[in-house]
Amino acid sequence: MTKICIFMPTTITVDETCYLYKQNQLTSNKMRENQYTEGIIKMYELNKEKNIDIYISDNSSFFNNNSKLKDYLLNNTKIHIITNVPNLYGKYNKGCGLIENWLYNNNILSNYDYIIHFEPRLLLQSNLFIDNFMLNPRTIFNIGGGYFNKDNNSYIHYNTGLFSIKTDVLLQFINLINSNGINSIIRQSIEYVIFDFIKANNISIDLIEKLDLWWFPTNLEKMYF
């Protein structure tokens, strides 16, 4: 049987003295908690009957305190909560924080054949992506942009808020970044770094046209994907 998990990296409480917050690149903690709560509940309700292990891996101090979200997770779900995740680089680059989170959970992720990566500040409108994946487990991404185009000077990238990936591919990727030093990508966006890795290594993937979810970028109107 193919072993699958949904892995949700979170930073529910941000350090308001950190670089990204001071640069106005992070949403306020009150709004973050509301968005995470709504996103986690919707994801769980859509997938709680599936034979999938579900994890939240938080790299903030959020779970050190009581909250409605914590009570919900402990009393109404079977979601595994991982705390005290390192966040040395995530204060400067969100993608670097994601790499730290994956590396910290290397031993857990290694137990699965596929990882469904979901960042639950996104709000699913349906289970289109995960249901599609479950019919045929495989590496699936949604595309953003268009690969280097001289006419508009743009690049293609993968949207990394929701994707599925074969575990050995993900581990190969994060171990490569780690061997080079996580700070080697501190001026880059993870969406482009993972795209370049998959392209350079000729890794077979499927593309999905839409994810059917809302994204809430900082200081911008919500966006549909």
- pLDDT recorded at residue 132: 98
221 burial level (CB within 10 Å; 0-12, 13-18, 19+)? exposed
What element of type H or E holds 45? helix 29-47
pLDDT at 151: 42
SS3 category, 198: helix
Residues 91 and 15 sit within 8 Å (Cβ to Cβ): yes
Q: Which residue in 78, 55, 51, 43 sits closest to 9, CA to CA?
A: 55
- The pTM (predicted TM-score) of the whole model is 0.93
Number of C-alpha atoms within 13 angstroms, CB side, residue 23?
Answer: 8
- Structural domains present in the chain: 4-141+159-189+204-224 (3.90.550)
Retrieve residue 108's tokens.
């857990």
CA dist 81 and 221 (Å) reads: 30
- Per-residue pLDDT in tens (0 to 9) along the chain, 225 residues: 999 999 999 999 988 777 777 777 778 889 999 999 999 999 999 999 999 999 999 999 999 999 999 999 999 999 999 999 999 998 889 999 999 999 999 999 999 999 999 999 999 999 999 999 999 999 999 987 544 444 444 557 899 999 999 999 999 999 999 999 999 999 999 999 999 999 999 999 999 999 999 988 877 678 889
Nearest CA to 197 out of 153, 165, 162 is that of 165
SS3 97: helix
